[in-house]
Amino acid sequence: MKQADLQTYLLKNAAEKLIPLHCLFELTYRCNLNCLYCYITKNKKKELEKEKVFGILRQLKEAGCFYLTFSGGEPLIRKDFFEIADYARKLKFALRIFTNATLVNESIADKLGNLKPISVEISLCGFKDMHEEMTRVKNSFDKTVKAIRLLRERNVEVLVKMTLTKQNVSQVWKLKRFVKKELGVKWRGIGGNFLVSPCDDGNKRPLQYRLTDEQLKKYIKEEKEEFRSVGKEYKPGKVKKNDILCGAGRSGCNITPSGELNPCAQIRLKKNCLNGHNLSDVWQYHPELNYIRSLRVKDLSECRKCELLSYCFYCPGIARLEQGSFLSKLPEACRLAKIRKEIYSEVNDGQKE
């Protein structure tokens, strides 16, 4: 089998058998940046102590979790981060780290290199002025760029990503070239199919940063050309009525800094604390998780016959945060699908295919 086919097999097998193959483990909600679009709601719940994190990692291993992503907040802010990460590697997890990298100096870069992570994913919001306008911390751009260079020198696989907003969209392609040519690392792309998420408590403050229609059209046209220049073509998906609505809660899970288990970072469950509860029991039997798993495309009563469905990146988690239900029509997804269809069904001379 080809590598891509093996990945597909692993994911499909995990989704069918409800194995949490991927875990996004948020180690802390503390952060030294203050990004405008951040979806995290800081709460006063106590962070797990190191030994309890170890215990959850052991349970994740037993449950078949393989791809482990340490995220935050800013995970490197935890003083015991490397003890936790070393332990995770001893348990043979394939490790990814999401960080703003501003705390990375030579010594921390060495330690990150020694961890042998699959990748370290770092966000840039644009060039210096734009980045610092969005992170609201002076010199954060310089620190992050310096860190990227330090990590590259140590042969760490660095992927740079960007959350696209109405402020920074004009810089995206120039930033991509800068990342690849000047920094010499990979471009991970833009996050989340343009769906800047509400805060995880439903606060809609970050939504004001979503792209305007005109910005979206321009960006998707440019993206289409970018794909073509490397011989790729976007193809709309084939959606069947019995398709599962979302893989969250099947092959992927999320752990919060206080030890709560969720299907993803957009869906925070109730009564999901692992403190004293076995992870596999919560994973297998939590009623809300089983409800989410049961959802199919045909359950979207307002959308199931929509002609835009194959262009739509519907997210039940964001639908609940924005509209109150996992099955609510999500106007932002409709807007994106409509524009995507419009652009991708155009041929080069502007005529419809």
Partner 1 sequence: MKDLNKIPKSNEDLAWRRIDREVVILQFDGAPDEREKILILNETAAMIWELIDGKNKVKDVIDKLLSEYEVSEEDVCKKITKLMNKFEKKGLITYTVA
**Contact call for residue 139 and partner 1 (CB under 8 A):** no
In the chain, the N- to C-terminal Cα span, in Å, equals: 35
Distance CA 294, CA 289 (A): 9
Residue 218 buriedness (CB in 10 A; 0-12 / 13-18 / 19+): middle
> What mask of x and - would describe binding to partner 1 in positions 20 to 59, judged by CB under 8 A?
-x--------------------------------------
> What mask of x and - would describe binding to partner 1 in positions 163 to 192, judged by CB under 8 A?
------------------------------
331: helix, strand or coil: helix
The DSSP output letter for 63 is T
Among positions 260-279, residues that touch partner 1 (CB under 8 A) are none
> Closest distance between partner 1 and the C-beta of residue 61, in Å?
7
Contacts of residue 149, Cβ cutoff 8 Å, sequence gap at least 6? 183
Nearer to partner 1, 113 or 236 (CB): 113
Pairing mode of beta strands 22-26, 67-71:
parallel
Nearer to partner 1, 7 or 208 (CB): 7
Secondary structure (DSSP) of 185-225? -EEEEESGGG-PPPPTTS--GGGGGSPPHHHHHHHHHHHHH
Q: Which two three-digit tokens encode residue 250?
A: 């099947």
> Closest distance between partner 1 and the C-beta of residue 240, in Å?
26
> Closest distance between partner 1 and the C-beta of residue 92, in Å?
5
| Binding test (CB under 8 A) with partner 1, winner from 55, 64, 191, 192 | 64
**Contact call for residue 10 and partner 1 (CB under 8 A):** yes
Nearer to partner 1, 6 or 174 (CB): 6
| Binding test (CB under 8 A) with partner 1, winner from 13, 41, 105, 301 | 13
Q: 163 in the Ramachandran plot: left (φ > 0), alpha (ψ -120 to 50) or beta?
A: beta
Q: With b meaning 16 or more CB within 10 Å and e meaning fewer, what string describes 280-319? A: eebbeebebbeebbebebeebeebeebebbebbbbbbbbb
> Closest distance between partner 1 and the C-beta of residue 105, in Å?
24
Q: Where are the alpha helices (DSSP H) in the chain?
A: 3-17, 50-62, 81-90, 106-115, 128-135, 140-153, 172-177, 213-229, 279-285, 287-294, 316-323, 331-344
Nearer to partner 1, 7 or 43 (CB): 7
Nearer to partner 1, 95 or 315 (CB): 95
> What mask of x and - would describe binding to partner 1 in positions 112 to 131, judged by CB under 8 A?
----x-x-------------
Among positions 68-97, residues that touch partner 1 (CB under 8 A) are 89, 92-95
| Binding test (CB under 8 A) with partner 1, winner from 6, 204, 212, 305 | 6
> Closest distance between partner 1 and the C-beta of residue 98, in Å?
17
Q: Which two three-digit tokens encode residue 177?
A: 């070239």
In angstroms, the Cα distances linking 105 to 74, 101, 147, 182 are: 15, 9, 7, 20
> Closest distance between partner 1 and the C-beta of residue 68, in Å?
9
Nearer to partner 1, 70 or 93 (CB): 93
**Contact call for residue 17 and partner 1 (CB under 8 A):** yes
Distance CA 176, CA 63 (A): 38
> Closest distance between partner 1 and the C-beta of residue 175, in Å?
20
Which residues contact partner 1 by CB under 8 A?
3, 6-7, 9-10, 13-14, 17, 19, 21, 61, 64-66, 89, 92-95, 116, 118, 157
